[in-house]
Structure 1
C-alpha cells in the first residue's frame, strides 16, 4: 500500500514539474510576442490560444500536488472544533465522496477526449491544434487528482497500520 501511495505522490510531483515547465513556456511565449510586436511589427498569431491551453494545463497538472501538499483551500470552520478522531473521520468521508465525484467527472472528460480524437477536431486558429492534446492533459490532471483524493482517503489507515 505504501508503494502505491508513493507512486501517486511521484506522479503528482512529475505533473507539477510539467506544469512548471509549461508556465516557463507561457512566460517565454508572451515575452517573444511582446518583442515581435514591438520591434518587428509582427506576431506568432497563436498567443491567445496557446496561453489559454497553457493556463488550463498548469491548473489541472498542479491540482494533485496542491492537494497532497495541503495547499488546497479548505473550509474547515466546522472541523476545527471537532475532536481529532471525528475530524479525521469527516475528512475521510469527504475525500471519499470527492473521489467518487472526481471519477464521475473524469468520465465526461474521457468522452470529450475520445470524441475529439475520433473526429480529428482541431482548433479554429492558424495552428489548428488537435483538440485531443489539451483534452488529454486535462484528463491526466483530473485523474491524478482523483488518485490523490483516493490516497487522502486511505492514508490515515496506513498510518495507523504503521503505528501498530
Structure 2
C-alpha cells in the first residue's frame, strides 16, 4: 500500500465548478487559511511560552500559567486547523469500500457520508454555541492563576466546527453539482 499525496496551494482547486460553487469554495478557502494562520501563530506563542517557562524554572520561578494556556492553545490549534487540513488533503482517507464498488455506489457512499458528517457537525455546533453563550452571558472564568473567560477557549472549538461544516458543505455541493467531491487526501 502506498500513500498518494496530491494537493495544491491554489485558492480554487476545481476547474469544473460552477461560478456559485467557486464563490462558496473561495470563501471557505479564505476562512480556512485565516484560521490556519491563527493556529500557526498560537503554536508559535505556545512554543515561546513553554521555552520561557523552562528558562524561568531554571531560576526556581514560574508564570504559573503554562499548563492552562498551553492546554487551551493545543485545543485551539487542533480545531482551527482541521478544516484547512481537510481542504488541503492532509487527512488520511481509507477507501476500502469505495475502491471496490462501482462509481454510482461510490457516489452514494460519499453522499451519505458527507450528509452524516454535516449533521454531526451541526449538532455539535448547536450545543457548543449554547456552551459559549452560557459562559459569555454568565461571565464564567477559569479557576487558574490567570482567570481566563471560558467563552474564549470554547469559541475556538465553535469556530473550528463552523469552518469544518462549511468545508463539508462545499464538498457536498461539489459532489451534487459536478459529480465528484474533489479527492485531495492521503489515501490508503
| TM-score for both structures, normalised by structure 1 | 0.91
Q: Which residue of 2 aligns with 1:43?
A: 62
2:32 corresponds, among 1, 12, 34, to 12
The structure richer in helix per residue is 1
1:100 paired with 2:119, answer yes
CA-to-aligned-CA distance 1:49-74 (integer Å, 9 cap, x gap)? 00000000001001101111222232
2:163 corresponds, among 138, 144, 151, to 144
Q: Is the 8 A contact 1:92 1:152 kept in 2?
A: no
| TM-score for both structures, normalised by structure 2 | 0.80
Q: Which residue of 2 aligns with 1:89?
A: 108
Alignment of 1:121-136 (within 5 A): 121-136=140-155
Give how far 1:85 is off.
3.8
Give how far 1:133 is off.
0.5
Cα RMSD between the aligned structures? Answer: 1.3
**Aligned partners of 1:139, 1:153: CA distance in 2, in Å?**
21
List, as ranges, runs of 4+ consecutive aligned residues in structure 1 with deviation greater than 4 Å. Answer: none
Q: Which residue of 1 aligns with 2:93?
A: 74
Q: Which deviates further from its counterpart, 66-75 or 6-15?
A: 66-75
Q: Which residue of 1 aligns with 2:12?
A: none
CA-to-aligned-CA distance 1:82-140 (integer Å, 9 cap, x gap)? 23343233112211211111101101100100110111110111110000101111101
The number of equivalent residue pairs is 159
1:116 corresponds, among 112, 135, 139, to 135
Give how far 1:158 is off.
4.0
Give ranges in structure 2 of 5+ residues lacking alignment: 1-19, 180-188
